[in-house]
């Protein structure tokens, strides 16, 4: 065999080996490239979690959200909290007056003409009734009293209109029903419908003798709203009052005389509890506390009469319209209303007290 033939043969042997080597090299390069791309996609920073500029600060006027535990920080999510609107929030560009009362009618008996004056001035008036005022009589009586209150507010605002209903779930977990007059968002009335505690403070058989007083004192762990809904604990009640106040940002708060005041003995136990809840919850708030007015309830009949003339006439007429729905205290005219035992004397008086006037023991 010649040298030329030998070289040709060797050359033919090297070609398959070189081809195999080339294929292997290309495959390695491809695999390495794919691994690199995959690793880059897996490890690259998340553009949503890394904003281009500094994180915005929370809005100072937004109330803190403390309804649940603080979630653990996430490596891929922004740590800036997003303010959540309060379910009961209602904006108002005028002065806001918040009333927190035990029963439907406490406001128009003890706090008028303060409420009617605020409505006449164009202020926003937000009213909260803590109990259903059921007197152990059931839903029919509750709904009648609520209708009476709406008609009384129509009388005070001078419009005989309809009201829209909104069912609210507060951040505290408490259910509430809010009524707002159609076309007049300045006013709203909220019903929590907790059981009426009875003038004796012992409650009623129909609601298991559960009372606000026992709830506040720890005698019962919760109260079941009249007509249904989740049970309400003491903590939820206090937090709900604070949440409602935060949603309304009132400049004035109207409520009952609290326990421990020289004006509390002889009052309805529910009145005293509601006044205590408001005082314990809101009085320390620098923006709200100075504007709280506590109205003397049943004991006001022993104080001098301080309402008469047109002011008394307007107050009695508002009350009379309410009573057309309340079968227990219905009165047909001014004379009959003023002649009703106890109620006639309460109507002739209204005594708000500031914190410094409570004479707390």
In a domain, 1, yes or no: no
The residue whose two tokens read 């009469």 is 305
Task: Report the DSSP beta bridge partners of residue 96.
Answer: 124
In a domain, 7, yes or no: no
Query: Euclidean distance between the first and final Cα of the chain, in Å?
Result: 129
Task: Share the mean pLDDT of the chain.
Answer: 84
pLDDT of residue 3: 41
pLDDT of residue 333: 97
CB 252 within 8 A of CB 97: yes
The closest of 127, 273, 251 to 196, measured between CA atoms, is 273
DSSP label of 48: T
Check whether the bond before 113 is cis (ω within 30° of 0). Answer: yes
The range of the structural domain enclosing residue 136 comes to 96-357
- Sheet with 124-131, strands from edge to edge, namely 163-169, 175-181, 187-194, 124-131, 96-101, 252-256, 292-295, 352-353
How many other β-carbons are positioned within 10 Å of the β-carbon of residue 290? 13
CB 58 within 8 A of CB 83: yes
pLDDT of residue 84: 62
3-class SS of residue 274: helix
In a domain, 31, yes or no: no
Task: Report the DSSP beta bridge partners of residue 101.
Answer: 129
Q: What is the pLDDT of residues 208-258, one digit of tens each?
A: 999 999 999 999 999 999 999 999 999 999 999 999 999 999 999 999 999
In a domain, 90, yes or no: no
What distance in Å separates the CA atoms of residue 248 and residue 147, rounded to the nearest whole number?
23
In a domain, 267, yes or no: yes
**pTM confidence score:** 0.78
Q: Is the pLDDT of residue 90 over 80?
A: yes
What distance in Å separates the CA atoms of residue 283 and residue 292, rounded to the nearest whole number?
7
pLDDT of residue 2: 38
- Which residues are within 8 A (CB) of 185 and not within 5 positions of it... i.e. 6 or more apart? 90, 92
pLDDT of residue 340: 97
Alpha helix (H) residue ranges in the chain: 3-43, 106-110, 114-120, 139-157, 212-217, 234-248, 269-282, 309-323, 334-338, 343-347
In a domain, 141, yes or no: yes
pLDDT of residue 39: 38
CATH number at residue 339: 3.40.50
- How many folded domains does the chain comprise? 1
Q: Is the pLDDT of residue 33 over 60?
A: no
3-class SS of residue 252: strand
Q: Give the mean model confidence (pLDDT) for residues 315-335.
A: 97
Q: Give the model's confidence band at 91: pLDDT under 50 very low, under 70 low, under 90 confident, else very high.
A: confident
Q: Give the mean model confidence (pLDDT) for residues 7-18.
A: 45
What distance in Å separates the CA atoms of residue 91 and residue 188, rounded to the nearest whole number?
12
Q: Is the pLDDT of residue 75 over 60?
A: no
In a domain, 35, yes or no: no
pLDDT of residue 146: 98
How much of the chain, in percent, has pLDDT values that exceed 70? 77
In a domain, 23, yes or no: no
3-class SS of residue 50: coil
Q: What is the pLDDT of residues 263-290, one digit of tens each?
A: 999 999 999 999 999 999 999 999 999 9
More confident position, 16 or 61: 16
């Amino acid at each position: 065999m010649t040298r030329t033939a030998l070289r040709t043969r060797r050359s033919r042997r090297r070609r398959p080996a070189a081809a195999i080597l080339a294929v292997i090299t290309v495959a390695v390069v491809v695999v390495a490239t794919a691994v690199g791309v995959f690793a880059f996609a897996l490890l690259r920073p998340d553009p949503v979690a890394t904003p281009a500029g500094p994180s915005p600060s929370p809005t100072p006027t937004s109330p803190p959200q403390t309804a649940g535990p603080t979630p653990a920080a996430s490596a891929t999510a922004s740590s800036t909290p997003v303010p959540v609107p309060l379910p009961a929030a209602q904006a108002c560009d005028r002065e806001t007056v918040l009333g927190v009362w035990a029963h439907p009618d406490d406001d128009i008996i003890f706090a008028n003409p303060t409420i009617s004056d605020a409505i006449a001035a164009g202020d926003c008036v937000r009213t909260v009734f803590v109990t259903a005022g059921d007197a152990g009589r059931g839903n029919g009586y509750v709904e009648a009293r609520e209708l009476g209150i709406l008609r009384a507010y129509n009388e005070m605002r001078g419009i005989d209109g309809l009201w829209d209903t909104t069912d609210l779930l507060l951040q505290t977990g408490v259910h509430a029903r809010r009524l707002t007059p159609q076309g007049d968002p300045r006013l709203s009335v909220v019903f929590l419908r907790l059981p009426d505690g009875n003038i004796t403070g012992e409650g009623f058989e129909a609601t298991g003798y559960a009372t606000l007083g026992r709830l506040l004192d720890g005698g019962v762990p919760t109260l079941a709203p009249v007509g249904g809904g989740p049970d309400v604990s003491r903590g939820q009640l206090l937090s709900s009052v604070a949440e409602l106040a935060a949603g309304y940002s009132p400049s004035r708060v109207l409520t009952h005389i609290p326990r421990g005041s020289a004006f509390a003995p002889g009052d309805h136990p529910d009145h005293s509890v509601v006044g205590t809840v408001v005082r314990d919850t809101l009085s320390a708030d620098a923006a709200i506390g100075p504007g709280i007015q506590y109205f003397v309830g049943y004991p006001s009949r022993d104080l001098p009469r301080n309402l008469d003339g047109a002011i008394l006439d307007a107050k009695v007429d508002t009350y009379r319209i309410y009573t057309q729905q309340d079968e227990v205290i219905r009165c047909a005219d001014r004379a009959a209303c003023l002649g009703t035992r106890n109620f006639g004397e309460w109507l002739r008086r209204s005594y708000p007290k500031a914190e410094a006037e409570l004479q707390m023991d």
